[in-house]
Structure 1
Amino acid sequence: MRGRRSVGDAAIAAATVLAVCCGAWLLHSGGETHAPPQPSPAQAGAASPDTGSGGPRTGPRDPLHAAALALAPSPPDRIRIPSIRVDAPLMGLGLTRNGSLDVPPAGRENLAGWYEAGTTPGETGTAIVAGHVDDADGPAVFYRLGALRKGSTIEVARRDGGTALFSVYAVEVYDAKGFPDEKVYGPAARPELRVITCGGGYSRTTGYRGNVVVFAHLTGSR
């Protein structure tokens, strides 16, 4: 499957972890008492089936939240996650000169971004949203992402006037050295969403050790 991704997706898979876990993402005080919540093992997802060797992923079956038909492409403008009180505008993100995913400005704590050269949230494929967990002044937009639970709803307001509704089916944390790029960024046969921030423990010398990743799929729109 690695060879079937676009150049942009391959670049993100190789370098995103480095891009989103440096500099302004460090804890305000550097103390563990202020560490953001991390997902429990109970929120991890089952292995995602696919259509065969190298085939597109479909994600696990979810009898309570059936997959909805894909929407036409439209850029997203805002992300809302009611259960963890997220309501934030989205900016477009590109790649840095070294090929890693760029991040929103460190001083904009309530701002997230989406990879605008990839899939738009709601269309078939894997859409990527990223945001800071904290900055030099304290918690940022995705500080509580690790507290999200299976079955939670993510709303993405789109520029076409509609809102794509996603159901969370897994919340996982990965160490930077073992980040599963294919699982997170690989192609999908249905509309999928990944929401990413820093996590996985914190070191005063190196910052966050990994990433929290939310896996969700489209279950409706309005």
Structure 2
Amino acid sequence: MILPWTILCVGTVNLSARSCPTPRLEPKPIILGFAGWTLPLTSYHGSAVEQIIDRLRAEGASAEIYPPNDWPTVAERLTNHADADRPIVLLGFSMGAAAAIHVAQKLGAVGIPVRNIVMVEAWNPEPIPANVAAATHFYSTRFAGLIRPGPGNEGLVENIDLNGQIPEIETASHVAMSQMALVQDLVIDKAGVRDDKDQAGTTVAAKSRSLCRDATVAPRRRTPPAPKR
């Protein structure tokens, strides 16, 4: 694994361990995922988000999953017990994407930042609040609603159309596309917890960057200047 920092030591030939400061590694993010609409509404078993969360846990990430209706409880818990040193990453599929945005809105109201929201096939998403540094939406069907920045948001807000990028995704349904391994790889990469390789030896992160070059960055509404008096 290549760590995301580089150390340069400049000085005498005999460099002691004290010559280089110990790098401060970023704490592992808190990853919270919200499944889509299922029956009963308290269930998330078999969902794509559950599969993603299981894979993240297997790689050592701190990740939890919730049904979409649990978002008020999750928001309250984070508001009262958020670890200021650990970045927050939210994941959501379909109705769960809307739930993730609701959580971010509640956190923004009390000044808690969100590092990233990663969504698949977002259903009726509200604007991304100002406390979210980045938001990415992967979609392929007409069911999905495009995300857009809310007032004060200066982060990256992008919609990535996967049609033509992943084999057979054009014929996949709203649910079926979320079950595709390549789609889940992109979500895991965007969550920022790994950089592993697929069978062809190409990093998933490189694939994600390639897709992001073709992403549609959500337009921002600009307030027209006040007329001069």
Q: Which TM-score band applies after superposition, normalised by the shorter structure?
A: under 0.3
Higher relative contact order (CA 8 A, sep 6+): 1
Structure that is richer in strand per residue: 1
Could you say which structure has the higher helix fraction? 2
**Normalising to structure 1: TM-score of the pair?**
0.26
Mark the structure with the bigger radius of gyration: 2
TM-score (normalised: structure 2): 0.25
